[in-house]
Chains A and B, each alone.
Chain A
Amino acid sequence: MEANSRGTGRLPAAFLTPGSSSFMDFLAEHQPEMLPGNRQLPPTQGVIEAPHGTTIVSVTFPGGVVLAGDRRATMGNVIAQRDIEKVFPADEYSAVGIAGTAGLAVEMVKLFQLELEHFEKVEGAQLSLEGKANRLSTMIRSNLGMAMQGLAVVPLFAGFDVDRAKGRIFSYDVTGGRSEEHGYAATGSGSVFARGAMKKLYRDDLTEDQATTLVVQALYDAADDDSATGGPDMARRIFPIVTVITEDGFRRLSEEESSAIARSILERRLEQPDGPRAALL
């Protein structure tokens, strides 16, 4: 076969060469310059200014998992964007929420979605949830060079494990280290506060409605104490993005649904600014 046939309109030999089912592996061989991890950064002084996304929270409940994120992107002390979307479906049964450098994170999600879809099309079967979580780990690790320069991406991955019939959450660190979280998890600058809220409110027998309310409560608390996390913006009608993954697949709450949750929480917070209280003992 001709080695260089790109000009003829025919599929290049690399396309017809049997190989792995991974799109990233294919890119690495065929067009390595297209991979985000292969980009060379010029030496820079200090931290590069770029919009950052902040808080992502996730909660499991019997039968599924909820993943939600606030809508604010900040650049230093400036609000760069008020309605950014940080939670995306990865495929039919999983979703990824991203905190960190927005530009890189969105690109990483795009490639991750494609990676899962490509595998599914080539193999005719889906990756296991564990396999998907590992694939994301590899992608974060390939970004380590940029993470060292302040362009870190730290996602939260949640999905419904079809084999075990339950929702699972995976969290990551900048080096790609992956750990499974039980019950609830949060990432991003407001995560400390969100985690505190969830710790007090979480039970292992939540309903789906309670779980979606819980994540919005947690995001509210994160926004309350972290300036980089945005609360529900009633004036502009910007509400947190809440997604639910169950046996039936991925579903994103409509604006009406998420605004209804945000409104009811806001109303109660007018009475009780610190939110629901857990029993002391």
Chain B
Amino acid sequence: MSTPFYVSPQQAMADRAEYARKGIARGRSLVVLQYADGIVFVGENPSRALHKFSEIYDRIGFAAAGKYNEYENLRIGGVRYADLRGYTYDRDDVTARGLANVYAQTLGTIFSSAGEKPYEVELVVAEVGESAEGDQIYRLPHDGSIVDEHGSVAVGGNAEQISTFLDQRHQDGMTLSEALKLAVQALSRDTNGSEREIPAERLEVAVLDRTRPQQRKFKRIAGRQLERLLTAEGAAEVSKAASEAVSDDTSSDSDSDGGSEA
């Protein structure tokens, strides 16, 4: 055996980060937005069975971009963590912050341990509060850092471009229908700036709805309900407003009642 070449720690980490980022970029992006009654998860997903979004606990949802088997593994770990914690203490003691910390530690340890390949995943952990101020959204990149987000967040390959688009247009107190349409518009934009159509059956949508009477606030939206929300009144105004200047889209679509249907 020949002597191994020296690789500086900086270089090693940069290589690992690059490897993880490339893996994540292969998957499609997804977005998580706050709306008036909670938090909505929207992503393009041709599969009906392999979900990108799922319920972790009563008020906590999970979204992931990247390699399916790796994030599925983390998701189940999170469900086990939350259920065990809720069983040991109380259901109120399971929080998104706690879960995000555990995920961050897990991803961070894997990322920096030489023996393991870094996970090619980017996660979002969101918790819906009693009011919009209590909502929490954490983004967890592959290296185990945590970013505390507000309003909207995008993860995945095209995340930066989508985030910029959302940051300019997202407002507090949007109805579900408005938030959903904005999310779909953001996802329809390709890296080169052109737009394409995403049919409703290729969309995966879930919400954490604080107005839900049940203890468990997570709910999937599909089929007719999704179609209805996507075509609810105000659709034309939103797309018009989105293609024009940012300041225009405030009043015209605020009378849409899509949000109350969920």
> Within 8 Å of chain A (Cβ to Cβ): is B147?
no
User: Which chain B residues in 230-250 approach chain A with CB under 8 Å?
Assistant: none
Interface string of B20-63 (1 = CB under 8 A from A): 00000000000000000000000000000101001110000000
Say what secondary structure dominates the interface of chain B.
helix
Once A27-B84, A121-B55 are accepted as A-B contacts, the answer to whether A10 and B105 lie under 8 Å apart by CB is: yes
Bound Cα distance A110, B89 (Å): 12
Interface string of B102-114 (1 = CB under 8 A from A): 1101101100000
User: Which chain B residues in 108-124 approach chain A with CB under 8 Å?
Assistant: 108-109, 116
Q: Which chain B positions have C-beta within 8 A of A18? A: 73, 76
Interface string of B67-104 (1 = CB under 8 A from A): 00000011011111101101110000000000001110
User: Which chain A residues in 26-61 approach chain B with CB under 8 Å?
Assistant: 26-27, 30-31, 34
Interface string of A1-36 (1 = CB under 8 A from B): 100010011110001101000010011001100100
Is B56's CB under 8 angstroms from A121's CB? yes
Once A15-B77, A121-B54 are accepted as A-B contacts, the answer to whether A114 and B88 lie under 8 Å apart by CB is: no
Is B83's CB under 8 angstroms from A118's CB? yes
- Indicate the member of B73, B79, B101 with the most A CB atoms within 10 Å: B79
Q: Which chain B positions have C-beta within 8 A of A110? A: 87
- Indicate the member of A9, A11, A117 with the most B CB atoms within 10 Å: A11
Nearest-neighbor residue (CB-CB) of A13 within chain B? B77
Once A5-B109, A121-B56 are accepted as A-B contacts, the answer to whether A11 and B102 lie under 8 Å apart by CB is: yes
Once A10-B109, A15-B81 are accepted as A-B contacts, the answer to whether A124 and B54 lie under 8 Å apart by CB is: yes
Once A16-B73, A121-B55, A121-B56 are accepted as A-B contacts, the answer to whether A9 and B105 lie under 8 Å apart by CB is: yes
> Within 8 Å of chain B (Cβ to Cβ): is A260?
no
Q: Which chain B positions have C-beta within 8 A of A162? A: none
Once A118-B79, A121-B79 are accepted as A-B contacts, the answer to whether A9 and B102 lie under 8 Å apart by CB is: yes
Is B80's CB under 8 angstroms from A15's CB? yes
User: B84 touches which one: A9, A16, A31, A117 (CB < 8 A)?
Assistant: A31
Nearest-neighbor residue (CB-CB) of B70 within chain A? A16
Q: How many of B's residues come within 8 Å of A, CB to CB?
A: 28
Closest-CB distance, A29 to chain B (whole angstroms): 11
Bound Cα distance A27, B83 (Å): 10
User: A8 touches which one: B55, B103, B105, B214 (CB < 8 A)?
Assistant: B105
Closest-CB distance, B101 to chain A (whole angstroms): 7
Q: Which chain B positions have C-beta within 8 A of A148? A: none
User: B49 touches which one: A111, A118, A124 (CB < 8 A)?
Assistant: A124
> Within 8 Å of chain B (Cβ to Cβ): is A165?
no
Is A16's CB under 8 angstroms from B74's CB? yes
Q: Which chain B positions have C-beta within 8 A of A122? A: 76, 79
Bound Cα distance A5, B77 (Å): 14
Bound Cα distance A30, B83 (Å): 13
Nearest-neighbor residue (CB-CB) of B108 within chain A? A10
User: Which chain A residues in 88-135 approach chain B with CB under 8 Å?
Assistant: 92, 110-111, 114, 117-118, 121-122, 124
Closest-CB distance, A125 to chain B (whole angstroms): 9
Is B73's CB under 8 angstroms from A117's CB? no
Q: Which chain A positions have C-beta within 8 A of B101? A: 9
Once A16-B77, A121-B54, A121-B55 are accepted as A-B contacts, the answer to whether A23 and B83 lie under 8 Å apart by CB is: yes
Q: Which chain B positions have C-beta within 8 A of A31? A: 84
Q: Which chain B positions have C-beta within 8 A of A26? A: 80, 84
Bound Cα distance A5, B87 (Å): 21
Bound Cα distance A144, B73 (Å): 35
Interface string of B143-179 (1 = CB under 8 A from A): 0000000000000000000000000000000000000
Nearest first, the 9 closest Cβ-Cβ pairs linking A and B are: A9-B105, A15-B77, A10-B105, A10-B106, A11-B77, A11-B106, A16-B77, A10-B109, A15-B80
A-B contact pairs, 25 of them (CB 8 A): A1-B116, A8-B105, A9-B101, A10-B108, A11-B81, A11-B102, A11-B103, A11-B106, A15-B80, A16-B73, A18-B73, A18-B76, A26-B80, A31-B84, A34-B87, A111-B87, A114-B86, A117-B83, A117-B216, A118-B80, A118-B83, A121-B56, A121-B79, A122-B79, A124-B51
> Can you add 11 more A-B contacts, CB < 8 Å, to A16-B77, A111-B87?
A8-B109, A9-B102, A10-B106, A11-B103, A11-B106, A15-B81, A16-B76, A18-B76, A26-B84, A118-B80, A121-B54
